[in-house]
Structure 1
Amino acid sequence: MYDLILDHISRHIRLTPAEANRFTSVLRHRKIRRRQYLLQVGDVSQYENFITKGCLRAYTVDAQGGEHIAMFGVEGWWISDLFSFLTNTPATQNIDALEDSEVLSIEKSDLEKLYIDVPEFNRLFRILLQNAFVAHQKRILASISQTAEEQYMSFIARYPTLDQRVPQHQIASYLGLTPETLSRIRKLQAKK
């Protein structure tokens, strides 16, 4: 059950067997059915979640009921409302499962204790936070400087199989496009 997360961690830090056991002892295995929420707007995010199976999305809903997807998460990725998690304030995003999914969750209080017991986790989560910031900044810059076609190609490069796992209208939402625009881009790409 812990192979994927321990492999992921080993790319950034080295743990002794005892440290790995300490870490896995605080993880909570959770199954999330398709369309079930992992987190809802207004709840405080108490967990960082590592996806071991499935696909989830983080999104907001505007006043007209339109969904705006901020992030997809697949196997080997972390997902949470990071602002809520770090500030202990109500979440501004929903997170739900697009497929039957499984996550390993670590509660904030357990993570804080882990920072003390296994200092290497300070380094790990600093790296993860830096990577999240870089990805966020790249996404913002792409949305204001790339054409719709370039954004779609970047999306495919980042999520090579996701276009076969989620509906086209959700990919359009993530990219800030209409489904019709995305359909035209996909048709053009198919002809190349």
Structure 2
Amino acid sequence: MFEVFQQYLQTKGAFTVQELDMIREQHFIKKLRRRQYLLQEGDVWKHYAFVSKGCLRIYYVDEKGVEHIMKFLTENWWAGDRESLLNSTPSEYYIDALEDAMLVMFTKENFERLCREIPTLNNMVNMLVHRSYVAANHRIHAAISFTTEEKYQHFIEKYPDLLGRVPLHMIASYIGVTPETLSRVRAASVKK
């Protein structure tokens, strides 16, 4: 599974063989079975995790027991709770596997040391943080200004590979509507 991560790294920057060896020495592999948790609410997240295989979701549960999905994570995405990682505070989120998954993981200390020692890795992480910020702003914009039909259309355009991997009730949770509302939107779009 490290080979998948290595290929990803090589698409993000010009890493030397020595740098890749340094990174390889610090990683470990985490296997998750379907429905197994990577993180639970109340735990402090202490790792950097890269999804080499599988599909996960990040969500929280409100006071009524309703799940609200924040993000889906598939191959070549990073998983975790950045706020918990940076502040060493208990997470408000759950992360679990929707499919069997394999993750390339690093302890916080080891990954941050690698970033200090390997400028290309540090530059990659900074670029990912910037892109994540932009993506979060786009998500907020869509949530407050798109109609339900536009939210669903945007989802299928942006994440076409998730349609066959994620149940519709989870897509409804992600776009912030009930499963019944999503069913009506889908039925209406088929009629058009």
Q: TM-score, normalised by structure 1?
A: 0.96
SS of residue paired to 1:161: helix
SS of residue paired to 2:41: coil
Q: Does 1:134 align with 2:125?
A: no
Find the aligned partners of 1:28 and 1:9 in 2 and give their Cα distance: 16
The residue number in structure 1 matching 2:21 is 21
Deviation per residue, 1:17-37 (Å, 9 max, x gap): 110111122111111011110
Deviation per residue, 1:57-109 (Å, 9 max, x gap): 00000111000000000111111111111211111110000111111111110
Q: Which amino acid aligns with 1:142?
A: A
Q: TM-score, normalised by structure 2?
A: 0.96
Q: Percent identity?
A: 44
Q: Which amino acid aligns with 2:83?
A: F
Find the aligned partners of 2:9 and 2:189 in 1 and give their Cα distance: 36
Find the aligned partners of 2:177 and 2:10 in 1 and give their Cα distance: 37
The residue number in structure 2 matching 1:168 is 168
Find the aligned partners of 1:9 and 1:147 in 2 and give their Cα distance: 37
SS of residue paired to 1:52: strand
The residue number in structure 2 matching 1:102 is 102
Find the aligned partners of 1:149 and 1:4 in 2 and give their Cα distance: 36
5+ residue gaps in structure 1? Answer: none
Query: What is the root-mean-square deviation in Å for CA atoms of aligned residues?
Result: 1.2
The residue number in structure 1 matching 2:40 is 40
The residue number in structure 2 matching 1:92 is 92
Q: Following TM superposition, by how much is the alpha carbon of 1:164 offset from its aligned partner in structure 2, in angstroms? A: 1.4
The residue number in structure 2 matching 1:144 is 144
